Amino acid sequence: MTERNPPFENRSCGLGTFLDIANRAILEKCRNGEYTAADIDVLQTNVFMSLYHLGDIAETLGMERIDYMDDPSNTSHMALMLFGRAIQEMAYTLDTITPYVRKHQTVAAPIVQDDTFPPPNGC
């Protein structure tokens, strides 16, 4: 019997495999023009909300489990809380800069005449 490689990334957590399949399907639909700009905005908003909630869950879990675990220096709790807060802050940053990224992409970028660094205009 021949072993077949699946057409997706097989992740050990299961959720990663599912998300990989979803990401590939979404990308294909975007490339084929099956999703409108409004559809893509809704998907992106849901991704941001998922990141906010996942971060909040991790941070809250880290705070709530401090009393129940045997960790005198609270390292695992602090790591979980920091991880959760970082996810939330990165989601917030992406959420706030996205409109500016889109605006920047619609404006034609100036053509740089030379490759000096930093560029002559200082940016």
Task: Tell whether pTM > 0.75.
Answer: no
- The more confident residue out of 7 and 31 is 31
Tokens of 40: 């893509």
Is it the case that residue 28 has pLDDT exceeding 90?
Answer: yes
Q: Which amino acid is at 103?
A: K
Q: Mark out the alpha helices in 1-123 (DSSP H runs).
A: 15-31, 37-64, 75-106
Is it the case that residue 52 has pLDDT exceeding 90?
Answer: yes
pLDDT in tens, 63-121: 886 766 666 777 888 888 899 999 999 999 888 888 887 666 555 555 545 544 444 45
Residue 35, pLDDT score: 92
- The more confident residue out of 59 and 99 is 59
Report how far apart the first and last C-alpha atoms of the chain are (Å, whole number): 59
Residue 118: φ, ψ to 5°: -70, 160
**Which residues neighbour 94 within 8 Å (Cβ) at sequence distance 6 or greater?**
48, 51
Question: What's the length of the chain?
Answer: 123
Specify the residue for token string 């740089």.
112
- The mean per-residue pLDDT over the stretch 34-44 comes to 91
**Which residues neighbour 8 within 8 Å (Cβ) at sequence distance 6 or greater?**
17, 20, 21, 24
CA distance 21 to 16: 9
